[in-house]
Chains A and B, each alone.
Chain A
């Protein structure tokens, strides 16, 4: 049992996501940075998709009421057990009565706290991930609050040595200036050539409006090609007949501010989508904070698939190391 003494900011239970229900308008939810999420689970001997805590900017304060193996990965947020610093990206043993706290975040935006056995909460549509808009998954469909109690489950599949860690070269690095790779397309034909070029050449600033639903960026206005709007689309040149939005897709309502849709996002709507963040870079996107910069870099589909494979290979390497 784990007692929540302080909830932190928007700390939720997440796993690999509620995949397969997009057709119903159900976004997948799940960990924003899957690489850190899988790593945390592997460090405590769990199935890589076991449920963990995802905390944003401010970590929770937890009191352990049993002996456990835990691991914390993701952004640089110094964890402390009973006030003593412990390492990130490492299997840490805690005893009954120990208290986990965090300092302020230095780099990155989100951390993942895995507990040996995983967090046990009821599954909804095959996932334990919290989706707060509909109030499903996780702990009563909401973020943690003070006084909550978490139970661990049966997702442990192997033994990992206390102190085992993921080597430096397999940990993500963070920066205030980021390149995020995208595949251009979807409805990018609606942008003028000049705006398409500007979209890929300026540094966009992440606004405070950045969360699990999506990130909004400030930069400069983009222009859509004027046209007589097709029937059903609505009046603004950035409107299209309502269509599906891929996870990671970027839209620019009225040409004002681009919005990248992430794991808790709306699944469709009436704005032209112009590019999609590649799946491997969604991890990085989830570690970017408000006021940091993003440059979108256009890649081909095969480059995107290659990048995805490389992430998979790194996870395999971690499994090998922890064996």
Chain B
């Protein structure tokens, strides 16, 4: 008997306005790049009735006016795109490599995480100590080193405006994975650096949150007033496909960057680079080394 290849991709309706497509239950580079290719092609089609195209980590979501474009007709288009992006590995991505300073174990997120110990798996440890332990590291220092050695690929923007979900470019066995808080915090300081599941994030604004907190970035990723040069075109800085390198900085450097932000002179250290998903997927570590070289040496 001939077996038909069955796609594991799930097409689902989010009420009458949304179509949600899950490419993979697990986070994989393959799902992320495929979703990116599909959503880019969909945007190029400029179909009437589409309000939002939202690429995600291992899924994506489309918002439509269902009286203009019936969600089932959209799904037909999306399935065609799914089958037509077999070349997604060779489609170039115009990316930006960005140096993102982070002050680890800073006083502000420390104060916040201590306030919510009762919401945490391990009330006796800090988030960093707990995360180090569950990932097989002896100390928080070792975990910080693992986070800052290789850069992260921005795989989704969301939760709140500008928040970059970023996924580390490293070997599968070196991937850091941490649980989220048992009960989410009701407060997280603006610019907190957190980790949940396989994703590192920076919280753009004060607010609720469930990721483990390790530090704080001195530079914003959301600038509502668009005063800084990097935010001239958009109040949101990160874009899917950007590569962020979280760099461990001293309190001195943190304060110096804060000063530049306040003066309106801060600009991210940044390089443009085009790459293909195939290049990243073939050898994430070699690609990560290339990124580091390009960002800091070229």
Whether the pair A270, B197 counts as a contact (CB closer than 8 A) is yes
B152 contacts the other chain (Cβ, under 8 Å)?
A: no
Considering the complex, give the chain A residue whose CB is closest to the CB of B60. A244
Minimum CB–CB distance for B55 against chain A, Å = 7
Whether the pair A134, B161 counts as a contact (CB closer than 8 A) is yes
Interface size (B, Cβ < 8 Å)? 61
Q: Which of B15, B54, B162 has the most CB of A within 10 A?
A: B15
Digitize B53-64: 1 where CB-to-A-CB distance is under 8 Å, 0 elsewhere: 111111111010
B207 contacts the other chain (Cβ, under 8 Å)?
A: yes
Minimum CB–CB distance for A91 against chain B, Å = 29
- Given A232-B177, A270-B196; A304-B16 close (CB under 8 Å): yes
Q: Which of B17-25, B83-91, B249-257, B270-278 contacts A (4 or more CB under 8 A)?
A: B17-25
Q: Which of A32-40, A74-82, A179-187 contacts B (4 or more CB under 8 A)?
A: A179-187
Residues of B within 8 A of A21 (CB): 52, 161
Report the interface size class on chain A: 35 or more
Whether the pair A305, B70 counts as a contact (CB closer than 8 A) is yes
Digitize B99-121: 1 where CB-to-A-CB distance is under 8 Å, 0 elsewhere: 00000000000000000000000
Considering the complex, give the chain B residue whose CB is closest to the CB of A19. B51
Whether the pair B160, A266 counts as a contact (CB closer than 8 A) is yes
Give Cα A19–Cα B222 distance, bound, in whole angstroms. Answer: 19
Q: Specify which of A24, A187, A276, A301 is in contact with B234 (CB 8 Å cutoff).
A: A24
Q: Specify which of B16, B156, B178 is in contact with A242 (CB 8 Å cutoff).
A: B156
Whether the pair A243, B58 counts as a contact (CB closer than 8 A) is yes
Digitize B65-86: 1 where CB-to-A-CB distance is under 8 Å, 0 elsewhere: 0110011100000000000000
Q: Which of B13, B14, B61, B182 has the most CB of A within 10 A?
A: B14
A249 contacts the other chain (Cβ, under 8 Å)?
A: yes
Q: Specify which of A135, A231, A235 is in contact with B179 (CB 8 Å cutoff).
A: A235
Whether the pair B61, A239 counts as a contact (CB closer than 8 A) is no
A308 contacts the other chain (Cβ, under 8 Å)?
A: yes
Digitize B12-38: 1 where CB-to-A-CB distance is under 8 Å, 0 elsewhere: 111111101010111110000000000
Considering the complex, give the chain A residue whose CB is closest to the CB of B72. A301
Digitize A262-279: 1 where CB-to-B-CB distance is under 8 Å, 0 elsewhere: 000011111001001111
List 5 A–B pairs whose Cβ atoms lie within 8 Å, in order of A's numbering: A19-B52, A231-B175, A242-B156, A276-B15, A276-B18
B interface residues (Cβ-Cβ under 8 A, vs A) = 12-18, 20, 22, 24-28, 51-61, 63, 66-67, 70-72, 156-163, 165, 167, 175, 177-180, 182-184, 196-199, 204-205, 207, 210, 222, 224, 234, 236
